[in-house]
Structure 1
């Protein structure tokens, strides 16, 4: 089955993938404009709406699509890409832990610089919103990474598990800041591939305007716990949030590798651009 999927995706070049992505986004944008014309939004566009949409602890059903086009890869020639699909399921109260929580399912369609295309790894995580204050929210949970990749160049061959934490600061006027810290420790294949232990830290800072435009940073910094090596990319996102029948978020985000330790293996992208589209269904 994996070989069949890889063969079919391999027949699509990067231009076709990008065209399909832009066509989908354009079609959905037209649909959203039509619903806004038929049904004027109650909330409109505002700083409050923008910050609610960007807040990672907001309880809302979400579908997020992101294309990361990688134009320069360390030590390799050729175009690469990661297409991410992320669905978020909110629960006002869990079955076992009686607090609000978010369950996220993340999958990838990846292309290596040599043109090899297929499925990447799948990540499941669950955040429990443990505290909500005037200044923001605090949450904690867990991640599990599942090796669903169809080729070793497109993901890890090991299962990984680890804790995750998030802190969101919302009482900052038009600014918003939040941090996400995720940990991954390999729990399979350690005898064959060696044990793996690393963290992903997201320092996020955004400024929002009343017209729905926002700008800021949302990099994913990585550190290897065993070697101390790091990868520190920097990005700059410009986006637009609006409300119709649903709530929508579209953005563009160039990213450059600011610093990478010699031999760090998990992020070899030196320059790329992310195109993202998200929509939200409030509970």
Structure 2
């Protein structure tokens, strides 16, 4: 009986992976059709520039980002899990109080635990102020707040958290692009009941762009617990395609594996998964 259930779960995971690949292929086919219909030709430099502008996390553009993370192996648990992320980005050329360009991000999740429980995850708000823009790139700083909107403790944190965030973008690297994002989260509620929480997420991003809109690179999210020193270091590899039609678009697929995790680290138990993302951009 256990073997039968396991085989059914494995078949379900394989079917889900096939669905992800089919959806991604559909995005690419649609992209090629729209690019063909768009008669405006671009030079290689223009295409590389377009790709780098779209990937740059400090580009001032209205954005809608959808990402499905299908998790096929979870540490210490059986069953398929997933995180569906919705992220909207609001650009401001000049803030109301702080008179510099800035980006406001609203991030929500619909999660499924390995046991099949599905519901809302936490809501995160962050705001980046673009403080310095030079020939080499940009520097920004801001804040995060994580709101415990999860419908079950398996799907998110029970505590409110807040902390500073920083980003550095290097754009004067030819067809390469590199940027770093450092976010911090410190719990400000429920510490008596759950214990205080303090951790950081460091995101190193390195991409290479081709003139035809294809790009490849890494965008992992490394985590460190400030209180215990324990870490989770996943590694991924993204292949994507950026094109311009009525709007600007970005479609990608990204397998991820856990390269190293300290024993007992609680916040990222995924051992292997695949991300499928699609993003719309509307320049200001």
**TM-score, normalization by structure 1:** 0.89
Structure 1 segment 36-47 matched on structure 2, within 5 A: 37=37, 40-41=39-40, 46-47=47-48
Is the partner of 2:249 in helix, strand or coil?
strand
Q: Which runs of 5+ in 1 are unaligned?
A: 1-12
Structure-2 residue corresponding to 1:188: 189
Structure-1 residue corresponding to 2:9: none
- Computed over aligned residues only, the root mean square deviation of the Cα atoms, in angstroms, reads 2.4
1:237-270 deviations in Å (ceiling 9; x for gaps): 0111111111111001000000000000000000
Q: Which runs of 5+ in 2 are unaligned?
A: 1-11
Is 1:53 matched up with 2:32?
A: no
Is 1:218 matched up with 2:256?
A: no
Alpha-carbon separation, structure 2, partners of 1:133 and 1:253: 31
1:117-137 deviations in Å (ceiling 9; x for gaps): 000001000000000000000
State the 1:40 CA deviation. 3.7
State the 1:274 CA deviation. 0.4
Alpha-carbon separation, structure 1, partners of 2:271 and 2:117: 19
Alpha-carbon separation, structure 2, partners of 1:135 and 1:103: 24
CA contact (8 A) 2:236 2:257 kept: yes
Provide closer, same or farther for how the CA distance between residues 255 and 20 of structure 1 changes in structure 2, counting only shifts above 3 A.
closer
Provide closer, same or farther for how the CA distance between residues 21 and 98 of structure 1 changes in structure 2, counting only shifts above 3 A.
farther
Is 1:240 matched up with 2:241?
A: yes
Structure-2 residue corresponding to 1:78: 79
CA contact (8 A) 1:101 1:127 kept: yes
Is the partner of 1:139 in helix, strand or coil?
strand
Alpha-carbon separation, structure 1, partners of 2:242 and 2:25: 14
1:29-84 deviations in Å (ceiling 9; x for gaps): 749945862x5457686111110000000000000000000000000000000000
Structure-2 residue corresponding to 1:179: 180
Alpha-carbon separation, structure 1, partners of 2:211 and 2:183: 32
Provide runs of 4+ in structure 1 moved above 2 Å. 13-37, 39-45
CA contact (8 A) 1:43 1:49 kept: no
**TM-score, normalization by structure 2:** 0.89
